[in-house]
Chain A
Amino acid sequence: AAGVIQSPRHLIKEKRETATLKCYPIPRHDTVYWYQQGPGQDPQFLISFYEKMQSDKGSIPDRFSAQQFSDYHSELNMSSLELGDSALYFCASSKLGLAYNEQFFGPGTRLTVL
């Protein structure tokens, strides 16, 4: 079965640079979630989109922005990178339905800021 695809899998950037992370949800899924997992930390919710509109916002820094495109893929744009942004970034997708919309997670993008 198709899974959530994230690219790139690994990314190394310098401080103050920008980074773009991409997420391709499972086909026919309409909702995308972004989470950040710092070293030794629990995943923290950043932001989510439903049908290309922002549906919820968590602890996402102002330096970060995200959007969901017409093909439902999503991109997380990170500017003025700081050392503390080094983390594993997960994307999850789900399909809104009558029952709870289970989230399926991608393998993550590991961002290292030097």
Chain B
Amino acid sequence: AQSVTQLDSQVPVFEEAPVELRCNYSSSVSVYLFWYVQYPNQGLQLLLKYLSGSTLVKGINGFEAEFNKSQTSFHLRKPSVHISDTAEYFCAVSGDRGSTLGRLYFGRGTQLTVWP
């Protein structure tokens, strides 16, 4: 089975500073990788996804992530954050065998707090 580790439970950062949210996964097969954002009292919104091809993936709101197969990582980055980026961020990986193709395995989440 797949598993996801988000190395930081909380990341505080000042506005306009760069940020990196770290994610490592474990899987014996090729997988699909995702980052979701959750604002307070809302559902999960897809930020970006890696399916195949270029290892640098660009998403919404200026976020990007880089897939590193050798390090089994999929870190999320943004060069300059805004206060509105304050939210919980979840890294997720899909299953890649048979009927588990669609199931998502989530990390514990990283709370990003942007201070003025």
Interface size on A, residues (CB 8 A): 26
Q: Which of A43, A48, A102 interacts with B106 by CB under 8 Å? A: A43
Q: Which of A43, A45, A94, A100 interacts with B32 by CB under 8 Å? A: A100
Interface size on B, residues (CB 8 A): 23
B102 pairs with A101, CB closer than 8 A: yes
Q: Which of B42, B44, B102 interacts with A43 by CB under 8 Å? A: B44
Closest B residue by C-beta to A96: B102
For A90, list chain B residues within 8 Å (CB): 43-44
B44 pairs with A33, CB closer than 8 A: no
Please judge, given known A-B contacts A100-B32, A105-B45, whether A55 and B99 are in contact too, CB under 8 Å.
yes
Interface residues of chain A, those whose CB is within 8 Å of chain B, are: 4, 31, 33, 35, 41-45, 48, 55-56, 58, 90, 92, 94, 99-108
